[in-house]
Amino acid sequence: MFRSFVLISSFLFLCCPGVLFAAPSTGEQYFAAKEALDQYEGFRRPVSSPEVPVSKPVVSAPSSAKTEGKKIHETEMGLEAYTYRYEELVGGEHFMDLEGKFYGLYLVHTFRPVYLDPAVKPFVDLFRFEMRYAWADLDYDGGVQDGAGNFVSTLVLNDVKDYVWEARALAAKEYEQGALYATPYVGFGMRFLHDDSTDSVGTFDYLGNTYQLSGYKRTSEYYYLPVGLDVGARLGGGWTVGLNGEFDIFLYGHQKSFIEDVSGRVPKNVQNEGYGLQGAIRLKNATGPVGVSLEPFVRYWNIEDSEVAYGGMEPTNSTVEFGMKMGILF
């Protein structure tokens, strides 16, 4: 019966639609057909809309970019020259000194990370790595001791060959207020000195006789913690003037004396007490892609008596270096 109803309804809908629905007028049929066509066209071709810019993912800044107006990576390299004086005291009295001029090279690289752990950033936002190397021909003016450690005679040696290298790693925090800035820092440093007087020959008198004596090789190593502060002001036109002060906490050091051809041994005298000081005035200009820097400086070390090794020790000594750096920045 249901099947007969469907067949009859379909026949009436196809042949006599007016039986089932009220037949629309010709105008109504036209507007109904147009509306249906418009809906179909709108569905098939969506209405165009103004082009909306699409946001692009943020790309991390390249190494040449800047963070808060400062370079992420900054390198300084140049030349340094300084006068050098090393003095030893025995019993509080002058025993010997080495004097001369050093000439060398230095390299400093500064890194300001874009991203830092939130727990670290309040204390550190800058890392700096420093390296220097210098060489000299020095003059020795000292004394000769006998086997009991007694002073025998004076001795002068010329053209003592020296070289030194030093490496430091620092962590710092930059603070700024207007044109003024302050940067406290701490780090770790190592200083290595090589002294060679084997080709230097001097004469001395002992018990009415004149003797010739040459020197020997000696090495010195210092390990220390630098704690310092940079302060300064930006003067305009790219110029910056600053002051640096540093205290070096001496951790450990040792001296090796290569006298095996005389004693058959190479004494190693361990040093446990001492300190260092450093200071500088810095003038820089970084307006272009390559800047310039000028820096007069002073360095000072004071080291106490070493431990005894094979019956000998390295006496209390001090080192003073005063000179100038000239470099470029990029």
Report the pLDDT averaged over residues 47-72: 52
Same domain flag for 160 and 307 = yes
Same domain flag for 18 and 137 = no
Q: Which domain holds residue 268?
A: 67-329
The total of other beta-carbon atoms located within 10 Å of residue 81's CB is 14
CATH for 106 = 2.40.128.100
Report the pLDDT averaged over residues 74-82: 97
Same domain flag for 156 and 229 = yes
Domain membership flag for residue 52? no
Same domain flag for 219 and 266 = yes
Same domain flag for 124 and 39 = no
Torsional class of 274: left (φ above 0), alpha (ψ -120 to 50), beta (otherwise): left
Report the pLDDT averaged over residues 270-293: 95
Domain membership flag for residue 33? yes
Does residue 58 carry a pLDDT above 80?
no
Same domain flag for 173 and 210 = yes
Does residue 87 carry a pLDDT above 70?
yes
Same domain flag for 29 and 78 = no
Domain membership flag for residue 60? no
- pLDDT averaged over every residue in the chain: 83
Same domain flag for 86 and 132 = yes
Token pair for residue 54?
């699409």
- pTM, full prediction: 0.76
Q: How many domains does the chain have?
A: 2
Same domain flag for 95 and 12 = no
DSSP character string of 212-263: EEE--EEEEEEEEEEEEEEEEEEEETTEEEEEEEEEEEEEEEEEEEE-HHHH
Q: What is the pLDDT of residue 7?
A: 39
